[in-house]
Amino acid sequence: MSSRKRPKRKTRPPKKPNAVYQFTDSWDILAQAIREIHKKNASILGFEGLYRVAFRIVLHKNGDKLYNGVREIITQHLEEVAVSQVVPAFPLSGASSSQTNPNGAGRANFLKVLKTVWEDHITCMLMLSDILKYMDRVYAKPANVPLVYDLGLDLFRDIIVRSQNYPIQNHLLEVLLQQIMLERENEIIDRTNVKASIDMLLELTDASTKDTIYAIDFENKFLESSSEYYRVEGQMLVGEYDTSDYMKEVDKRLNKEEQRVGHYLSPTTEPKIRNIVEEELISKHLKTIIEKGLIPVLRNEKMNDLGRMYKLFGRVVKGHDEMKSAISDYIRELGKAINETVTSNTTAEGGNAVSVDKQTEVTVALRWVQKVLDLSDKFDKVQNLALSNDETFQTSFNEAFEYFINKNPKSPEFISLFIDDNLKKGLKGETEKEIGSVLNKAITLFRFVEEKDVFERYYKQHLAKRLLLGHSVNDGAEKRTISKLEIVSGYQFTTKLEEMFNNMRISSNTMSDFKE
């Protein structure tokens, strides 16, 4: 037996199956499956088996062929959809909203068809994403190409929405804007179809800018058409409606645009459309609204209307400034009328001054102060109920009161007489709260007086008479009044008034000692 060992034979790996044949065979299976999905026959398919077929194709380094093949089938399908479904749904060019094309599809129906096409496409792409998940991970990402779902969106954008062969984009934008216009005119529209189209535009992105098709194609046209609509609307409404109804209509328009955004537009559009409505319906008609209706609203104390005007004017630049200026001018006019009434009561018909007795002078003074206080109460009410206690408005009101009060040269004397009359008799039997209210009102007017030294002179005279004649019925009220005057004008202003009280107390004590 030979000792020579037999050489070992090398084991060769099995021959690889023909790669071209394998791809063709596998691709035919996948291509047919994709077509069945497009035909809505997905229920007859085995998705796990299809996933394995796609897996083998990518595993054999044919991911590029698979990717390009999928893109070609989707492209062919969308081109067929454009011709067979979308284009026949076009509304007639120049037709009204009620007219239809030969196939019976009107403007609103066009959105319904597009909604169906879009939803079907998304459903198909989700199925394909599941089948081709391995291709996305192993081929698409490393090759830096869109994943299959994103590829489907890009193809839908280019073949349907931005078709180079058919004016689908023009019809889509025209119908969307027309539907919104109808809703603004209180027509009932199918918001579901409008929202579906808007959502579609929001999901599709531009290839170069990466912005949404909504922002690039739709939003600017929507804002332009809205600006023109409200420009015309504002001119019409301001001419036909009174101020109260106009403000209500503006408020309603703002609310409806806000609701429209909530129903089917992008939230990013809300501040833009709001600015347009505010500009066209408020800013451009500020002076007209004020000249036409602010004074009647104030005169009739329509607090709800005034509050609505304050709220709406606060939305625009210089809105509150214009409103403050107009109300301030109105206060000055009312104050001027009060001053003229007093002048007419103290002047003869021929214009010559006549002597009036002290009682008449007091009556005139009390009437003037009371009218000013009534006017102050009126605008305090306006502040509380309509202007949200806006400090800037209060400052403007104070300046107006100060202006006309100091236009009356007798205002220091009149205010002193008013306090004198109330401290002599008006506060008898009054509660502490009522006493404080009267004094606070008087001191409020005193704050506006520029010639406080003149007021001081009259107040000393009136206080001296009350103390000497014993007409002051409430020492506590007298002292509280002096304390309030001190807060307004400082300690030096009231020092002599307090000395008068001290002198009267010393005199009273001396008389008591003398009697004893």
pLDDT digits (tens, 9 = 90+) for 134-156: 999 999 999 999 999 999 999 99
**pLDDT higher than 60, residue 260:** yes
Rounded CA-CA distance 77/155 in Å is: 10
pLDDT given for residue 477 in this prediction? 73
- The residue type of 95 is A
Rounded CA-CA distance 111/172 in Å is: 7
Q: Over the chain, what is the mean pLDDT?
A: 85
The superfamily (CATH) of domain 312-408 is Cullin Repeats (1.20.1310.10)
Domain boundaries, the chain: 19-93+103-230, 312-408, 410-511
Fold topology of 19-93+103-230: 5 helical Cullin repeat like (1.20.1310)
pLDDT given for residue 488 in this prediction? 77
pLDDT given for residue 497 in this prediction? 66
Dihedral angle sign, alpha carbons of residues 104, 108, 113, 116: negative
Rounded CA-CA distance 56/50 in Å is: 10
Q: Poorest-confidence range of 193-202, 205-214, 304-313, 435-444?
A: 435-444
19-93+103-230 and 312-408: same fold? yes
The counts of H helices and E strands in the chain are 24, 0
**pLDDT higher than 60, residue 457:** yes
SS3 387: coil
**Does the global pTM surpass 0.75?**
yes
Q: Higher model confidence: residue 467 or residue 284?
A: 284
End-to-end CA distance of the chain: 168
Rounded to an integer, the average pLDDT of 45-58 is: 92
Contact yes or no for 166/87 (Cβ under 8 A) = yes
pLDDT given for residue 430 in this prediction? 62
pLDDT given for residue 420 in this prediction? 85
pLDDT given for residue 499 in this prediction? 67
pLDDT given for residue 351 in this prediction? 46
Rounded CA-CA distance 388/310 in Å is: 9
The superfamily (CATH) of domain 410-511 is Cullin Repeats (1.20.1310.10)
